[in-house]
Structure 1
Amino acid sequence: MPHTIAQIAQALGLQAEGALELTITHAAEPAQAGPDALAMAMNPKYAAGLAAGRAQAAMLWAGADWRDMGLKAAIFAPRPRWAMAGISEILDPGYDFGTGIHPQSYIHPSAEIGAGAQIGPFTSIGARTKIGPNARIAANVTVAEDVEIGADVILHAGARIGARCRIGARYIGQPNSVIGGCGFSFVTPEPSGAEDVRASLSGERLVRQQKWHRIQSLGAVQIGDDVELGANSSIDRGTIRDTVIGSGTKIDSVCQIGHNVQMGEDCMMCGMAGVAGSARIGNRVLLAGKVAVNDNIFIGDDVIIGGASRVFTNVPAGRTMLGDPATKLETQLEIRKVLRRLPRLAAQVAGLQAAVFGPEKTDKSRQE
């Protein structure tokens, strides 16, 4: 659907100048933008691309000279990424979930489906499950028994929701996301080698045969409103109590949240991050890509954990952490400065050894 520059600017609450009656149908990078596209050049470094494209209108940084760029109209974005969120929402064509309930889906007779639901083919809705109004559920989705889901949920193809889970309004489950799989909990009749090592913090242990026996997951998963779970990510059900994810939390693709985890509101968890069982995560915590959080620890509110960090101990509220093992950001930067100097330091030590003990003894010590 075409939109005028005036309509877009008004919807985003942004200033616009020039031929506001111009219409655009989509957004494009400056060099690929045609006459019907809104060129996204919200940083001066992207301005050169406008000359290579054919855009008539662009979204620019505040104060940009749009006439000098050969444009007919411009929208000004003081905060580019915030403007990007708005324009992407306006121009997003969305997904085609069909209309109504597809005849090739299976809805258990005891399930309750809210008004306005769209349910695709080969989707299964279990017994006594309640799905709120305006649900949009794609093909090949499985929702098990006794599940409760709020209004305006979106479940993309292949999403899975296990039995007895509770999910709030406006939840988005990306393709192949899984809520409510069994937790990874196993035990041996006698203390296992892993338990011995953890207790002693020593490699010395009694080696014996082990047979793993599953601890069943009696809990479920509770998820607040406005939560999103990325493609191929999973949230395990609790062992006794439920695993909990607070409202507003966003979880990227290929993430794992273990059994009994309690995660607060408005958290962000980036790709390939993992939280081990029974960890407690505060509100507004950011876990960058490939972060690993140990089991049974606590991370306070407003903590930021940098990419590929490994968190083994409790983290106080408001702290920024980085590294393996994770330390305060300032400490980690000092550690990395020292690491870069290690080759030079080793050469200096070798020179001192040669001066004190002589080259022959120094060479012998190196060989040993």
Structure 2
Amino acid sequence: MILSEIASLVGGHLTGPESAFDKQILGVRSMLEAGPQDLTFLANPKYRGELSKIQAGAILLSEPSPGLSIPQIVVPDPYLALARVMQVFYPLPSPRQGVHPQAHISGNVFIEDPVEVGPAAVILEGSRIGAGTVIGPGVFIGARVVIGKGCYLHPGVVVREDCRIGNRVIIQPNAVIGSDGFGYAADPQGHRHKIPQIGRVTIGDDVEIGANTTIDRATFGETVIGAGTKIDNLVQIAHNVRIGEDCVIVAQAGISGSSRLGHRVILAGQAGVVGHIEIGSDSMIGAQSGVARSLPEKSRVSGSPAISHKLWLRIQTILGDLPGILGRLRSLERKGGTPGDSAEGRDDHE
């Protein structure tokens, strides 16, 4: 791909000698790895000092760098431009070999060509697989599952019976879609009796689900993942949860049963959401936060229990001073005066 084509693809302004506009670019690399036929990028201003060291053929950046001798493509958002370029250079593999002889396909399965089904994959009766989908080695697809067009299921994925997956969905290795929800009823003696989980999981278009993530089927009805949502590795989504469109759920987050997330919600790493609450659209939940109540739209919370992010930041700034503050308060209580410079009023860690 030549530079002028790349600039057109990302809607950028190409600067440099006109002779370089037809320069052939063969790949995309980081600033310190890129060679003369690679495109690189500067998305974080903290790395601007590294520009003098690069050997790349061209660079994506948000502001021109006058001292740089290589061609520059200036765009409002280099990281977004990078994503678009890399999708062209490194697309998902297309279906190649059809159904592998070591795959098991039950009767009454509809597979729309072209589809690739890898060795040891299992597709049970009544399922439908859309054109352009790749089913990796060792994938299990239960009965009556519907998978859309252009999906990619990596090795070891499990999609249990009756689940619905939209178009262009990517599921990373060993994710489990449609496992039983965690539902039990206790009798007077405290014994737990399983409640059969007879619902399903429905996943919208353009969703990506990370490795070892689990999404439980609903007790009744559906667990829903909205279109465009991106889910990281090791995430747990419980039964009857409904997640809106274009949400981001980061690694090790957990969402308890029957909770609802609006659109474009960001749940940072290891955040937890209790059951039966609602989080409004465009909200952001900080890392390791515990959300125990419903939140309105555009909320910004951190901590456990979650509080306003601004208040949480103020609290963090004084935590280190608490031993000294406590000592001075005790001194006041005993002496009835202003806090002095007593041993109790000093921070032993200083």
Kept in 2: contact 1:97–1:138 (CA 8 A):
no
Q: How big is the shift at 1:244?
A: 1.4
- Give the distance between the partners of 2:43 and 2:145, measured in 1 at CA: 44
Structure 1 pair 183–11 and aligned structure 2 pair: CA distance change class (3 A) = same
User: Could you tell which deviates more after superposition, 227-236 or 345-354?
Assistant: 345-354
The match for 1:69 is 68
Residue 215 of structure 1 is aligned with which of 159, 176, 195? 195
User: Could you tell which deviates more after superposition, 28-37 or 167-176?
Assistant: 28-37
Query: Structure 1-normalised TM-score?
Result: 0.85
Deviations 1:20-79 (A, max 9, x none): 1111211122222211211323455434434434223222332222xx3232x2211221
Q: Secondary structure at the match of 1:9?
A: helix
Residue 289 of structure 1 is aligned with which of 269, 287, 293? 269
Structure 1 pair 345–268 and aligned structure 2 pair: CA distance change class (3 A) = same
Instruction: Return 5+ residue gaps in structure 1 as ranges.
Output: 191-208, 358-362, 364-368
- Give the distance between the partners of 2:318 and 2:224, measured in 1 at CA: 41
Q: What is the aligned-residue identity percentage?
A: 37
The match for 1:10 is 8
Q: Secondary structure at the match of 1:316?
A: coil
After superposition, residues 230-249 of structure 1 pair within 5 angstroms as 230-249=210-229
The match for 2:122 is 124
The match for 1:203 is none
Deviations 1:304-327 (A, max 9, x none): 111111001111122111111001
Q: How big is the shift at 1:343?
A: 1.6
The match for 1:200 is none
Kept in 2: contact 1:141–1:158 (CA 8 A):
yes
- Give the distance between the partners of 2:254 and 2:25, measured in 1 at CA: 41
1:36 aligns with 2:31: no
- Give the distance between the partners of 2:183 and 2:238, measured in 1 at CA: 10
After superposition, residues 22-61 of structure 1 pair within 5 angstroms as 22-43=23-44, 45-61=46-62
The match for 2:109 is 111
Q: Secondary structure at the match of 1:243?
A: strand
Kept in 2: contact 1:29–1:39 (CA 8 A):
yes
- Give the distance between the partners of 1:154 and 1:230, measured in 2 at CA: 12
The match for 1:274 is 254
Q: How big is the shift at 1:245?
A: 1.4
Kept in 2: contact 1:186–1:214 (CA 8 A):
yes
Residue 91 of structure 1 is aligned with which of 89, 92, 109? 89
- Give the distance between the partners of 1:97 and 1:211, measured in 2 at CA: 49
After superposition, residues 172-183 of structure 1 pair within 5 angstroms as 172-183=170-181
Query: Structure 2-normalised TM-score?
Result: 0.90
Kept in 2: contact 1:98–1:119 (CA 8 A):
no
Residue 169 of structure 2 is aligned with which of 155, 171, 175? 171
Paired residues in the alignment total: 335
Structure 1 pair 144–64 and aligned structure 2 pair: CA distance change class (3 A) = same
Q: How big is the shift at 1:93?
A: 5.1
1:321 aligns with 2:301: yes
Deviations 1:326-365 (A, max 9, x none): 01223323333453432221110222244259xxxxx9xx
